Amino acid sequence: MEKQNYKNHRKLDPTYHFMLAPLSLIIFITTLVLLISSLQSGEMIGWAVISLMMSIALLLTVTLVRIYPLKIQDRIIRSEQQLRHYILTGELLDPRLTLKQIVGLRFASDAEFPELCKRAAEDNLTGEQIKKLIQEWQGDYNRI
């Protein structure tokens, strides 16, 4: 696996991002067109409405299948970084740090992590700004 850095740390899942998500959107749009044509012709309106409801359910399911694991991972990352900071400094993370900042900080090496945490809280850096400041990148190869 290629060594991770700022430029390549984002991950796309081809099956999800290029097949499942677009396909569910196409199904939703197709059922909208079907409903509109059924309303104009007065035929099979019931089936068109049921198809639309099913396509909405599919679209919501596909969206939540992506969002829920990311939320869980964010909570785990927050806990991991809290523990990491405590091990390195004997103190908890600054409560001013936002989740996005903490998620960005996870890529910092142990040597630069405490100072970057302090700087991120004091200067209110964004997650992207934090990632760009990291000198020794520590990859996260488990992110979904």
105 and 68 in a common domain: no
131 and 101 in a common domain: yes
Sorted by sequence, the CB contacts under 8 Å of residue 53 that are 6+ apart come out as: none
16 and 69 in a common domain: yes
* Final residue in a domain of this structure, among 44, 73, 102: 73
Alpha carbon distance 134, 59 (integer Å): 37
Q: Give the range of the structural domain holding residue 31, as residue numbers without chain letter.
A: 12-73
Residue type at 141 in one-letter notation:
Y
What values do phi and psi take at 137, rounded to 5? -70, 130
Q: Indicate whether 83 belongs to any domain.
A: no
Could you please report the per-residue DSSP string of 73-115?
HHHHHHHHHHHHHHHHHSSPPPTT--HHHHHHHTTB-TTTHHH
Kindly state the tokens that stand for 81: 């970084």
**Counted domains in the chain:** 2
Place of tokens 């400094």: 89
pTM exceeds 0.85, yes or no: no
* Final residue in a domain of this structure, among 26, 45, 73: 73
Mean pLDDT by 10 residues, the chain (144 residues): 81 92 97 96 95 98 95 96 98 97 97 98 97 93 77
State the SS3 of 27-50. Answer: HHHHHHHHHHHHHHHCCCHHHHHH
Q: Indicate whether 24 belongs to any domain.
A: yes
Query: What is the pLDDT at residue 9?
Result: 85
